[in-house]
A and B are shown apart, each in its own frame.
Chain A
Amino acid sequence: MAAGAGSGRTMSSTFLPVRFWLLMPSWLIIGFFLALPVLLMLVYSFLTKEFRGGVIWEPTLAAYDQFLFDRGLFGDDPPQIEWKYISIFLRSIFQATGATILCLIIGFPTAFFIATRNENTKVIWLFLVTVPYWVNLLIRTVSMKFLIRDSGPLNELLITIGAIETPLKLINTNFAVQLGLFYSYLPFMVLPIYAALERYNFTFSEAASDLYAPKWTILRQILIPIIKPGIIAGCILVFVPSLGAFLAPDLLGGAKTFMIGSLIEDQFKGNAGNWPFGAASSMILLSLVMIVLIYYARAQSKEQV
């Protein structure tokens, strides 16, 4: 550790004169691809909407007002709290939570299974987890739709083996959306948990077992607390993209009700054509995600103290 720190110091003094230029690429990437677009959205969310899409450069709070207050169909009723968009957000959070739980239930045992294989077969298992993800997300979501539709292979199989008599109504339900999101983001759960398990020293479990701790206690008291950062990272990596997804809700949920992603999409490329409102919804979504992440980061740092 000391040697590493020492070499770090000499390195930094060697590169000190050119440090600015060496950091340039990362600043450019962060600035150009992250800060600039977000800033643009922030600015747009405070502009006046142009009829049929586009913005007029006059500052206004109209977009946020539209999000929070309901002024009736014609816009001249006394303002009331607007539940429309809040319920879209709540629905999205519900779907994303469902997907995260599904991912955790399947992802944790999968990661555990892979981590406990021997070195040679581990690689193969990890490889197998990633194979489906070489196929485009759209294709995967559409094939999921084919699988679970009323006359699809899943229902036909279940009927043939006599498990059910009428087809399960899966397509166009909340569960179908969660299933689609689960399938889309499963590796994001498996891989961080696997990485945490990889570092876990299994002799702890053995020691606990020698002291007559039942398996459940070992899992709850030793394994899970140690790999908790991996689990939380996995949950965040699944939850956050699920929140803004629109492919799965559109294709599997029937697009009947908007999720956050499709609400925003509709403002830019759909019927509504209200760019500032789309930008404002994105900013609100972004703030929600930030709050979750900051909360997590603080909880983490508190634990480490």
Chain B
Amino acid sequence: MFLRTIFTSLIILLTANFAYAGGKLSVYHWFEYMPQELLDKFESETGIDVTMDTYDSNESLLAALKAGKLGSYDVAVPGDYMVEILAGEGMLDTIGDSELKNKGNIEPQWIEASFDPGRKHSIPYQWGSTSFSVNRDVYKGNINTTDIIFNPPDELKGKINVLDSQGEVMALGSLHLGIPQCSTDRDQLKALDSLLQSAKTHWASFGSDIAKDVLVSGDVAVGMIWNGFSSKAREEGANVEYSYPDQGYVVWMDNVVLLKDAPNRQNALIFMDFLLEPENAAAVTNYAQYNAGVKGVTKFLEPALATMPENNPREGAGPGAFVAVCDQETQEVYDQMWTRLRS
């Protein structure tokens, strides 16, 4: 009798536990990047409970996973270069060939992505660009140059916020100098270092999660920012113009990845399929105002998005470039520069 009670309670406990695990999904995501309505829709369609934590840079995502968070999240949304790094660190699970029924919805040019050829670990979430926006009430001159950030005119000195994102700052700095990213040439690296040192004296603050807010409030007049975030700032009443500089700008793509040791792997795949539905991908785009890498979204998009200046590089703008992944030696020099920049 006694044994049987124990046995039944164990069964109940185990099944209960399974049901519990079966109904959950744990997402590690950027801040302000997922519309609540879409999460609600996912929950009501699938009955899966979603919990979401947020981070504010690719590097802090990596750090959290390294520090032991791997195994507690199912999916995360790293940028292009971070997908490559995470895959290299063995932190991503492989998506089997037939496991995503909507994989065919990915736009062809994003299937063979340089950072994840064949999309073994990831699906597109959104893509966009990083450069900077200028408050047109404060400065009316030419903003089509990275000089605005690195060698600003007097009106803008001391009124610049820069993203707290080493990869993007280094990439934009390299574009400004016209040197390759992750250069191993010492003179070029020295030039980049002294550029940052001299530019820093004109910068007011570093911050990514505040990037939109400081433009809207007028704390700064120039902000390094992502294109969609800038259009949100404009919608919130800031008279800001997003620049596509002559020297070029940073292009990025955020991707939903399947993390290794995901506690709810099956639900993670359901979530990825859900995000590959054109209607849902469009919902994210309507919210975040970037671009989906998914076919057939156009009819679900708000018409204003197509003509939005932030989403349409001007004629004659420099080329867009992904942030490159540096080898260890160069990365250590970059880390040195970054600390020098901040001390």
Contact = CB atoms under 8 A, between A and B. Distances in A.
Nearest to A83: B343
A47 to B, nearest CB: 14
Interface string A231-267: 0000000000000000000100011111000110010
Contacts of A150: 217-219
A257 B204 CA distance: 10
B339 A272 contact: yes
A270 B63 CA distance: 7
Interface residues of A, number: 32
A202 interface: no
A85 B343 contact: yes
B235 to A, nearest CB: 19
Interface in B100-125: none
Interface stretch (A20-28, A50-58, A285-293): A50-58
Interface in A100-118: none
The 5 closest A-B pairs by CB, nearest first: A254-B205, A271-B166, A53-B66, A269-B63, A84-B343
Contacts of B336: 73, 75
The binding surface of chain A is classed by DSSP as loop
Contacts of A272: 335, 338-339
Contacts of B205: 172, 254-256
A271 B189 contact: no
B66 A52 contact: yes
Interface stretch (B147-155, B257-265, B280-288, B325-333): B325-333
Given A53-B63, A84-B343, A269-B60, A256 B203 contact: yes
Interface string B83-104: 0010001000000000000000
A274 interface: yes
Contacts of B234: none
B66 A255 contact: no
Contact of B342 (A54, A171, A172, A256): A256
A268 interface: yes
6 contacts: A52-B89, A75-B336, A150-B218, A257-B343, A269-B59, A271-B335
B218 A151 contact: yes
B59 A273 contact: yes
A232 B332 CA distance: 43
A73 B207 contact: no
A87 B339 CA distance: 12
B29 interface: no
B338 A271 contact: yes
B238 to A, nearest CB: 12
Nearest to B192: A73
B317 interface: no
A126 interface: no
A269 B218 CA distance: 29
Contacts of A74: 186, 189, 333
Contacts of B206: 254-256
A262 B189 CA distance: 25
Contacts of A54: 66
Contact of B67 (A51, A53, A263, A266): A53
B16 interface: no
B41 interface: no
Contacts of A151: 217-218
Contacts of B165: 271
Given A52-B62, A85-B343, A73 B193 contact: yes
Given A258-B342, A273-B59, A273-B62, A75 B204 contact: no
A256 B160 CA distance: 11
A8 B332 CA distance: 61
A88 interface: yes
B59 A254 contact: no
Contacts of B331: 51
B271 to A, nearest CB: 25
A10 to B, nearest CB: 47
B24 interface: no
Question: Which residue among A250, A257, A272 has the maximum number of chain B CB atoms within 10 Å of its CB?
Answer: A272
A273 B82 CA distance: 14
Contact of A273 (B63, B189, B204): B63
B340 interface: yes
Nearest to B164: A255
Interface in B62-77: 62-64, 66-67
Contacts of A263: 339, 342-343
B314 interface: no
A268 B335 contact: no
